[in-house]
């Protein structure tokens, strides 16, 4: 269960990004809607949704959506999730969003994230409006029936609150130190 509750303001952070910058949610060049996703390199669930995350960023960039993906996994036990490996993944997949390394795991703990991937969607004034999974079919994008994140983003864009505000995140557990 998340530490953040519906309508809570986002918790700010400053983390290194695979593009060489340090990123904070307060940065002015981020879009008005912020989609914070706890994910990682190694987890098959994270991998299954990776291309869809890229598509979501592409689809809603012009509407002011910024995806901020964070890996908080213990990189000693899971070297596939080390910062250098994250940089490699960013390059391989041509990520169109920030991919941040939460080495101390403090951000994951502040948010109460437990799984990869697990998403937190904030509206234009930084309040949490959706938390949970991306859609209802990790294995086959063509068979997705409910696009939770996209539905929630569409609601925010049209000035409404999402109908579904919370789902269970499906994925690997965050690998705690």
Binding site for other proteins (CB under 8 A): 42-45, 47-48, 77-78, 138-139, 170-173, 175
| Complex with other proteins: residue 22 or 136, whichever CB lies closer | 136
Closer residue to other proteins, CB minimum distance, 106 or 168: 168
Whether the Cβ atoms of residue 80 and residue 119 lie closer than 8 Å to each other: no
Least separation, in Å, of the C-beta of 107 and other proteins? 20
User: Whole-number minimum distance, CB 120 to other proteins, in Å?
Assistant: 20
Shortest distance (Å) from residue 10 CB to other proteins: 27
Q: Are strands 33-39 and 65-71 parallel, antiparallel or unpaired?
A: parallel
From CA 26, how far away is CA 16, in angstroms rounded?
14
Alpha carbon 59 to chain centroid, angstroms: 16
Peptide bond into 117 cis (omega under 30): yes
Our CB check for other proteins shows the closer of 125 and 142 to be 142
| Strand-strand pairing, 65-71 and 118-122 | unpaired
d(CA 35, CA 130): 9
CB nearer to other proteins: give 122 or 138. 138
**What minimum distance in Å lies between the beta carbon of 22 and other proteins?**
30
């Amino acid at each position: 269960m998340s530490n953040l509750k519906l309508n809570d303001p986002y918790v700010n952070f400053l983390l290194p990004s695979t593009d060489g910058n340090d990123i904070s949610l307060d940065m002015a060049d981020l879009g008005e809607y912020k989609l914070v996703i706890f994910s990682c390199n190694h987890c098959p669930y994270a991998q299954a949704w990776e291309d869809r995350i890229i598509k979501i960023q592409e689809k809603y960039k012009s509407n002011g959506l910024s995806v901020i993906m964070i890996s908080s996994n213990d990189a000693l036990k899971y070297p596939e999730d080390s910062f250098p490996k994250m940089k490699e993944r960013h390059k391989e997949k041509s990520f169109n969003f920030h991919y941040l390394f939460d080495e101390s795991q403090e951000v994951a703990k502040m948010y109460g994230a437990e799984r990869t991937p697990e998403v937190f969607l904030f509206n234009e004034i930084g309040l949490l409006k959706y938390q949970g999974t991306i859609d209802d079919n990790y294995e086959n994008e063509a068979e997705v029936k409910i696009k939770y994140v996209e539905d929630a983003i569409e609601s925010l864009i049209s000035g409404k609150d999402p109908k579904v505000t919370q789902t269970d995140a499906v994925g690997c557990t965050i690998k705690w130190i």
